[in-house]
Amino acid sequence: MKRLLIVIFLLNTLNVFAQPQLTENQKLESLAKVWGFLKYYHPTVAKGKLDWDAELMQKIVEVKATKDQQALNKLYSNWLDKLGKVTPCKSCDNNVPDSLKRNLDLSWVYDKTVLTSELSERLDYILKNRNQGKNHYVRYPYKLFKTQAEFTEKKYEDLEELPSEEYRLLGLFRHWNIINYYFPYKYTTDVPWDSVLTNMLPKFRNAANTLDYHLAMLELSNSINDGHNFFRTNYTQQYFGGFYPAFNYKIIDDKILVTGYYHKGFSQADSVNVGDVITKVNGVPVEDVLAQKLPYIPGSNYNYKVNWINSLFLNGDTPTLTVTIEKDGEEYERQIRRYAFSRFGYTPDTTAQPSWKMLTPEIGLINIESLKTKEMNSAMKELRNSKAIIIDMREYPGYTIGALAKYLLPDRITTAVMPYPDLKYPGVFRPKQIKYGKKGNKDYYKGKVVLLVNAGTMSMGEFGTMAFQFAPNATVIGSQTAGADGNITYIDFPGGFRASMSGLGVYYPDGRETQRIGIVPDIEVKPTIKGVLSKKDDILERAILFIESGK
């Protein structure tokens, strides 16, 4: 008998030691995924019958206290028991083709390193019998356009700017799960989305001060690699600094080119002139400073990020800065002063460009930014008999894409496919065809159509360029576009802070992508220091050459 008791004791001891030991971060990662899954899939939770934020903050404390996999899974199992029985779903479509599920990754549900087989089976049952009614946390706000999702979350606007760890993790888990289930381009991120959670969790937990926390929110929101992400607080602005140089500039080929003045007198007092090329900042090469700052700059691709950072790169929190200027093959160090922007009294040039004009007797130009729908008939009446029309898509267009497409396309055709989130199956995106043009349009424009693009071509500009590319004689000339297509959908962090994302996908009808890639030019023309200094429009000049020479 004594021997039997010893054997039982040893077996129980071995069983305790056999339980996988999980780190605190691993346990919290699992909580983020279970909490988010139940939020959008479990019928009781999805209907908003519980304060799901409060449930999370309570579970953060409880999950930290668990000692092993068995204890963690028991906690989750008791949680599911509390939520009540899920009845079988007769309307759930569980035979969705893989082509609609490229953003859906629920492999963690079946990961035996964290979850037991019993718990995986319970979550799998909820997946197959998921909520099919209204969801308290996500909805289609427009009755006539049931594709764009909108999220309903508590804002907690009275929180301190560095809230407690529980509220910080609420923000991380909320954002991570919205991207996980409702961001159409999750599969394109530089860092796999599961790894983003792993990487960001310590930064949110260990934020030592308010700036660290706000930079963590900024870095998380930028992790989606989407030009439609806009996140800014007073503290993220503080990171770049509130002092500006007295000149404006462009970053070209990892060098800074001085292109103009915010205050000419201040600039020339420091011997900085238009045309100067800066190669180093405080002794550090420009490309290395870029590498430090770009994680905090939104954007789908490098070209767009560099274009966006032009107005912030030389900012700082001190009134002076040392730069290295390259001139005639030599480099010279120079200290320059920085100022509060209000000191410059700067007023940007807002001279309106004509909506359209004839560049030559045979070539017309349309400025898509200034063209109004009511002007369309007049514009096309004048341009109709031209040899070619150049459409400048480098600035954001108004609502003129559909009207102009009726003049350019020979028929009403599908110009894009726009996947939208299926709220009855979070993570699945259903395709919607987008059509432009006029049916049987024999009177469409017969000349060449040349589309000018660069990093300023974004969102609606890219969407319009895609449509105009279906004109029979269309050619795209320029450089890589922003690679951010679709609408803007907002995500709230606790404390009244807000990030955003592209809520709808956009693809060519044959499945080609534009997100991150942008519109691929037929003829590539990149900006050059020489071109900017000569104040030439290299892209426009290349378009005229193409029209006149055919190459």
Among the listed residues 444, 431, 546, 499, the one whose alpha carbon sits nearest the alpha carbon of residue 179? 499
H helix intervals, 349-480: 376-383, 401-408, 460-468
Contacts of 141 (CB under 8 A, 6+ apart): 148, 150
* Gap between the Cα atoms of 537 and 445, Å rounded: 26
**DSSP-assigned letter for residue 322:** E
User: pLDDT below 70 — which residues of the chain?
Assistant: 1-20
Three-state secondary structure call for residue 478: strand
pLDDT at 231 (0 to 100)? 95
**Structure tokens of 522?**
């037929």
Contacts of 302 (CB under 8 A, 6+ apart): 294
* CB neighbour class for 149 (10 Å; exposed up to 12, middle 13-18, buried from 19): buried
Torsion of CA 342, 259, 312, 187, to 10 degrees: 140
Q: How far is CA 45 from the centre of its chain?
A: 28
Regarding beta strands 523-524 and 474-478, do their DSSP bridges make them parallel or antiparallel, or are they unpaired?
parallel
- C-alpha dist (Å) from residue 397 to 119, 366, 470: 51, 11, 18
**DSSP-assigned letter for residue 186:** G
* Gap between the Cα atoms of 100 and 40, Å rounded: 18
**Structure tokens of 252?**
């070209």
Residues paired with 331 in a beta bridge: 326
pLDDT at 145 (0 to 100)? 76
pLDDT at 328 (0 to 100)? 84
* Gap between the Cα atoms of 340 and 351, Å rounded: 25
What is the sign, positive or negative, of the torsion defined by CA atoms of 7, 12, 16, 18? Answer: positive
pLDDT at 32 (0 to 100)? 98
Consecutive H or E run containing 489: strand 488-493
* Gap between the Cα atoms of 542 and 59, Å rounded: 61
Contact 277, 251 (CB under 8 A): no
360 HSE (CA, 13 A, CB side): 13
* Gap between the Cα atoms of 469 and 484, Å rounded: 18
pLDDT at 1 (0 to 100)? 52
**DSSP-assigned letter for residue 475:** E
pLDDT at 15 (0 to 100)? 45
Domains of the chain: 20-136 (no CATH), 243-339 (2.30.42.10), 356-549 (3.90.226.10)
**Structure tokens of 290?**
């870029």
pLDDT at 7 (0 to 100)? 44
pLDDT at 37 (0 to 100)? 98
pLDDT at 528 (0 to 100)? 87
